[in-house]
Amino acid sequence: MSETGDTFKKAPKRKPSKGKSIAVSPEMREAYAALIRERAEKEEAYGRHLPQDETRRR
C-alpha cells in the first residue's frame, strides 16, 4: 500500500483576522441609531397584535 503519513494530518491553526472598522460621522451614527429604534418599535407593535401561544391552534 502507499504511504499516507501526511494525508490525514490536522491543518495548522490560522490567526483570526481582525474586523474592519470605519469612521462614521456623528450624523450618520445618529441616523443609524434612529433606524434601529424605529425597527425595534415596529417589531414590538407587530408582536403586540399576534395571538399568544395558548390561543394558537392548527
Q: What does the pLDDT read at residue 3?
A: 59
Q: Which residue has the cell 443609524?
A: 32
pLDDT per residue rounded down to tens, the chain (58 residues): 555 566 778 888 888 888 888 899 999 999 999 999 999 999 988 888 777 766 555 5
Q: What does the pLDDT read at residue 47?
A: 83
Q: What does the pLDDT read at residue 6?
A: 65
- pTM for the full predicted model: 0.47
